[in-house]
Chain A
Amino acid sequence: MSGAPLIEVKDLGVRLNTSRGPAQAVRGVSFALRRGETLGLVGESGCGKSVTALALMGLLPESAVISGSIRLDDTELVELPDKAYCKLRGNRISMIFQEPMTALNPMHTIGHQVAEPLLRHTGVSAAEARQEAIALLDRVGLPDAAKRIDAYPHQFSGGQRQRITIAMALACQPDVLIADEPTTALDVTIQGQILDLIAGLVEERGMAMILISHDLGVIAENVARMMVMYGGTVVESGETNAVFTRMGHPYTQGLFRARPRLGARKGTRLKTIAGTVPELADLPAGCSFADRCAIVEQRCRVALPAVVDVGASHGVRCIRTDVSMAAGDVGA
């Protein structure tokens, strides 16, 4: 792919005002995506993945302080007035949510909900929007779309509902699609189908996609590049293949070790990363992973480590890569 990036995020920072005081939920996140490119965000709960996504959508609470820059083509989105943002949301930049059970309004028919963004952002008539909604629902694989367009959300299964929310998100042919854990609430068998559907649509329409997940398997199979987030910062980023072959950050390695495996002997305990995610309201001064890291040193706690390049566009935010990557072979 070539050409100017479609969406470019530089040094994004988000400070949320929580009941426990200000919390720096996201620090120094930067990336750029061209059309057709895919990026995965991975990390455990509370590490800033969803906040990053909501910052891109301009959906953070008004009290949140956003710094840095988010550019969509030539438009700067940080500080963009809400009216102008409303014209972008659902139109050029769209989002699929985690819970298909709750992401649909129970009081409206699915046809109404899929046609709604079309009516809102494009100048089509109600009849055209309805036709388009049927076509979209057909495309996302909802059986009997034409007949079921007037049914209500409760009349569908979880997988079907996620297909409907995807149809909603894609209605206006957005340039950027953010999928926030789109399969977490679904059966494993349905997961694969939904991810294949999203991948197909991304390729077909030349969208840029940001896929958020805590599931390394989902990330490995669906995105070209990935960023591992921890404590609001990107601790490792690079081509998915490169990251999975040579994991540089102790946290990434820990995540990888913690995945459940088929064929493990009965009674084998799942590996975990000791400790818990630090409270965003009182992050440590240095590396946010320091308290849970096996190879932590005194100098790790002094200041946030800089990103070290360990390969072509493969960066690790760790000052002990010499040790962590020498230990290497974590996959084994």
Chain B
Amino acid sequence: MSAPLTASAAAAAIAPGARPATGFWRRALRHRSFVLGAGLSLLVLGAALLSLVWTPWSAYDIDVASKLHPPSAAHWLGTDVLGRDIVSLLLVGARSTIMVGVIAVGIGLTFGVCLGLIAAARKGWIEELIMRLSDFTFAFPAVLSAIMLAAVAGPGMLTSTTAIGIFQIPTFVRVTRGSANAIWAREFVLAARAAGKGSFRITIEHVLPNILSILIVQATIQFALAILAEAALSYLGLGTQPPQPSWGRMLNDAQTLLFQSPMLAVYPGAAIAIAVLGLNLLGDGLRDLLDPRLARER
């Protein structure tokens, strides 16, 4: 914090019952990067929801006669090589983007955090086993594990998402275990043990809340990475299958037309950038807002 605490701010900070939970939204609305991040994320979410009920054109209808139209009143951002409306494709594509992000990060977060917490709490050979397994998983590039999984289960959005999710587990294991170990070494954990708490309760009540902000930030980063990975896999033809639109596939299709109509690549690229940026800012903001120690500073 650059500005010194004003007397009234200091008084407010130590005022009785000054819980950060109360006034969370008041503080949230004053947090610039949180507001911006939430706005951009809601934009993507809104686009996905809107596409469920309405799109300007159908994202699946091919109209080769009107292919590669420039932006016009009928097609706000023009049409692609098959004559599909770009706006409609972007809206529907947001759905798969969000699905991929949520499922992949869900898989990574659930398994990764559990394993990381167990490793930190149990130590010894259990920790060793978990960490070596995660090293093992890490050794395979995401694309390779996606190709392997696609070979077994057939290419598709679910397959690629699962592969991305599995690939994210070791990242979460490492981040969780590293930060959990740091918390385990703190004196309040010793105090909690002196108060008779077992390692499970200490993990839930002391370790997890203290590493939550790190996990949230990591999750938003991983969400962004998942979107990029899905785009990459779709680009390789391993992700979302046609005719299901996805931002990654749109980029893929635009590649061959880069000199004829470069804007075809810019739109999905910008959409991905907005989603990633929004999530990163949102995670940053959440980290600040959820920490009671930082509560008074905003």
Q: Which residues of B contact A151 (CB under 8 A)?
A: 14, 16-18
Pick the contact of B206: A90, A105, A144, A168 (CB < 8 A): A105
Q: Which residues of B contact A116 (CB under 8 A)?
A: 195, 205
Contact B210 A107 (CB under 8 A): yes
Q: Which residues of A contact B18 (CB under 8 A)?
A: 150-151, 155
* B190 CB–A CB distance under 8 Å: yes
Residue among B14, B196, B197, B206 with max Cβ neighbours from chain A (10 Å):
B196
Q: Which residues of B contact A214 (CB under 8 A)?
A: none
* B198 CB–A CB distance under 8 Å: yes
* B114 CB–A CB distance under 8 Å: no
In the complex, residue of chain B having the shortest beta-carbon distance to the beta carbon of A171: B195
Contact A90 B194 (CB under 8 A): yes
Q: Which of A72-80, A94-102, A267-275, A297-305 contacts B (4 or more CB under 8 A)?
A: A94-102
Pick the contact of A102: B20, B188, B206, B292 (CB < 8 A): B188
- Once A86-B198, A151-B17 are accepted as A-B contacts, the answer to whether A168 and B210 lie under 8 Å apart by CB is no
Pick the contact of B293: A102, A109, A150, A154 (CB < 8 A): A154
Against A, the Cβ 8 Å flags (1 = close, 0 = not) of B205-243 are: 110011000000000000000000000000000000000
Contact B195 A155 (CB under 8 A): no
Contact A155 B209 (CB under 8 A): no
Q: Which residues of A contact B198 (CB under 8 A)?
A: 82-83, 86
- Once A59-B193, A89-B196 are accepted as A-B contacts, the answer to whether A155 and B14 lie under 8 Å apart by CB is yes
- Once A107-B209, A107-B292 are accepted as A-B contacts, the answer to whether A59 and B194 lie under 8 Å apart by CB is yes
Q: Which residues of A contact B7 (CB under 8 A)?
A: none
Return A118 CB to nearest CB of chain B, in Å: 10
* A244 CB–B CB distance under 8 Å: no
Contact A86 B187 (CB under 8 A): no
Contact A97 B191 (CB under 8 A): yes
Contact A102 B194 (CB under 8 A): no
* B263 CB–A CB distance under 8 Å: no
Contact B210 A106 (CB under 8 A): yes
* B19 CB–A CB distance under 8 Å: yes
- Determine the main DSSP class of B at the interface with A: helix
Q: Which residues of A contact B191 (CB under 8 A)?
A: 95, 97, 103-104, 165, 168
Q: How many B residues, CB 8 Å from partner?
A: 25
- Once A106-B210, A107-B209, A155-B14 are accepted as A-B contacts, the answer to whether A86 and B196 lie under 8 Å apart by CB is yes
Chain A interface residue number, banded:
35 or more
Return B179 CB to nearest CB of chain A, in Å: 13
Q: Which residues of B contact A59 (CB under 8 A)?
A: 190, 193-194
Give the CA-CA distance A97 to B187 in the complex, in Å.
Answer: 8
Q: Which residues of B contact A89 (CB under 8 A)?
A: 193-196
Contact A103 B187 (CB under 8 A): yes
- Number of cross-chain contacts by CB at 8 Å: 91
* B257 CB–A CB distance under 8 Å: no
Against B, the Cβ 8 Å flags (1 = close, 0 = not) of A113-157 are: 000110011000000000000000000000010011011101100
* B277 CB–A CB distance under 8 Å: no
Q: Which residues of B contact A106 (CB under 8 A)?
A: 188, 210, 292-293
* A108 CB–B CB distance under 8 Å: yes
* B175 CB–A CB distance under 8 Å: no
* A32 CB–B CB distance under 8 Å: no
Contact A86 B190 (CB under 8 A): no
Return A317 CB to nearest CB of chain B, in Å: 30
Give the CA-CA distance A103 to B191 in the complex, in Å.
Answer: 6
* A91 CB–B CB distance under 8 Å: yes
Interface residues of B in 246-298 (CB under 8 A from A): 292-293
Interface residues of B in 17-40 (CB under 8 A from A): 17-20
Contact B195 A152 (CB under 8 A): no
Contact A144 B16 (CB under 8 A): yes
Give the CA-CA distance A152 to B191 in the complex, in Å.
Answer: 17
Q: Which residues of B contact A105 (CB under 8 A)?
A: 188, 192, 205-206, 209-210
Interface residues of A in 178-194 (CB under 8 A from B): none
Contact B188 A155 (CB under 8 A): no
* A57 CB–B CB distance under 8 Å: yes
* B13 CB–A CB distance under 8 Å: yes
Contact B196 A150 (CB under 8 A): no
In the complex, residue of chain A having the shortest beta-carbon distance to the beta carbon of B187: A102
* A87 CB–B CB distance under 8 Å: yes
Give the CA-CA distance A107 to B197 in the complex, in Å.
Answer: 17
Q: Which residues of A contact B13 (CB under 8 A)?
A: 155
* A296 CB–B CB distance under 8 Å: no
* A23 CB–B CB distance under 8 Å: no
Contact B190 A90 (CB under 8 A): no
Q: Which A residues form the contact surface with B (CB < 8 A)?
A: 57, 59, 82-83, 86-91, 94-95, 97-99, 102-109, 116-117, 120-121, 144, 147-148, 150-152, 154-155, 165, 168-169
Listed from nearest, the 7 A-B pairs whose CB atoms lie closest are: A147-B16, A90-B195, A90-B196, A89-B196, A102-B187, A107-B209, A95-B194
Q: List 25 A-B contacts (CB under 8 A).
A: A59-B190, A83-B198, A87-B196, A89-B194, A89-B196, A91-B196, A95-B194, A97-B190, A97-B191, A97-B194, A99-B187, A102-B186, A102-B188, A103-B190, A104-B188, A105-B192, A106-B292, A108-B205, A109-B19, A116-B205, A150-B16, A151-B16, A151-B18, A152-B293, A168-B195
Known: A107-B209, A107-B292. 15 other contacts (CB 8 A): A86-B197, A88-B196, A90-B194, A91-B196, A104-B188, A105-B209, A105-B210, A106-B210, A106-B292, A108-B209, A117-B195, A120-B195, A147-B16, A151-B14, A151-B16
